[in-house]
Amino acid sequence: MTRAKFITRSSSDFLLDKLGVDPEWTQTRLGDGFYEQRLVLDQITQLTGRRYLGNYADGVAQYRALLESGVAAAGQLQLSMGVGLTAAQAAALTQDIVWMVEQDYQGQKVLVPVVYLASNSLQLRGNGALIAGGNVELNATNSMSNQGVIAGADVSITAGNLLNQGRISGTGAVSLEARNDLLNQGQIQGRDVALVAGNNLVSEATKAINGVGILSGITASNTLQLVAGNDMTLTGTRVQADGSAALIAGNNLSLTPSALRNCQPPVKLIHP
């Protein structure tokens, strides 16, 4: 664990100081400013297919701007330090931000910088890593892998095997169906979200720098349904729903206690 040796204004010191967070939090961060920047660049690359957002060409300036936006969003959306954004908070973002979220690392709770992209920002991505439109419908006979951004109003994806390591976002319904296995290591967000796997459904952390896992996420501003014909595993992930949520597995259902966040009313779990 490294101490925060990087310039205060370009590390999470800036955000913590602006928000008046208790100094003891500074002992639980994952690394210094340089390390945090690398984690942020890794997430941005995963989410957009590029290292930099907008017109940024420098990691220091980009990280500082994301932290400043995080400070602003904290007041506007009543964010809590160490707690990931709810589906409603993420949907209300008007700017891309970095927020410090508590995660488990080698048995210790640490603060990790997490990138949240605003929905209007997603619609402006103009590179080959983006598939965007009014309604997006994708069908694959065999396997489909997403490492960029798929965004639209209603989003529907069907494949034999489905792997998401980027971001899939819809302002309406998001429906992902895999006839065999569905693996999520990125972010999935929509109003009504349904994930269906004929065999196994897994949502887990993706491996980042030095083996540190970046939490994946499935967020619904209304209803959420996860269905697995065989096993369902939710580890290193955050599942959030502002409306009803149901998890249905034909066989084993395995999840960490922290996987289900801000689901109202309580989640319905169905398995043998």
Residue 223 belongs to a domain: yes
Q: Quick check: is 3 in a domain?
A: no
Q: Both 65 and 102 in a single domain?
A: yes
Taking residues 25-31, what's their average pLDDT?
A: 65
User: How confident is the model at residue 170, as a pLDDT?
Assistant: 85
Least confident of 117-121, 193-197, 232-236: 117-121
| Residues 211, 150 share a domain | yes
Residue 59, domain extent: 8-119
Query: 23 pLDDT exceeds 70?
Result: no
End residue of a domain, out of 98, 119, 140: 119
pTM for this entry? 0.60
Structural domain contains residue 2: no
Q: Are residues 70 and 47 in the same domain?
A: yes
Q: Do 141 and 161 contact (CB within 8 A), yes or no? A: no
95 and 41 co-located in one domain: yes
**Domain finish residue from 66, 98, 119:** 119
Residues 143 and 86 in one domain: no
Higher pLDDT, 236 or 158: 158
* Together in a domain, 129 and 245: yes
Assign 16 a pLDDT band (cuts: 50, 70, 90): confident
Q: What is the mean pLDDT of residues 60-68?
A: 92
Q: Do 27 and 91 reside in the same domain of the chain?
A: yes
Which SS3 state, helix, strand or coil, does residue 195 take? strand
Q: Which of 68, 70, 10, 62 is nearest to 35 (CA)?
A: 10
Crossing angle for the helix pair 59-77 and 12-19, nearest 10 degrees? 30
Residue 30 tokens, joined = 């994952």
Number of structural domains in the chain: 2
Of 119, 135, 161, the last residue of a domain is 119
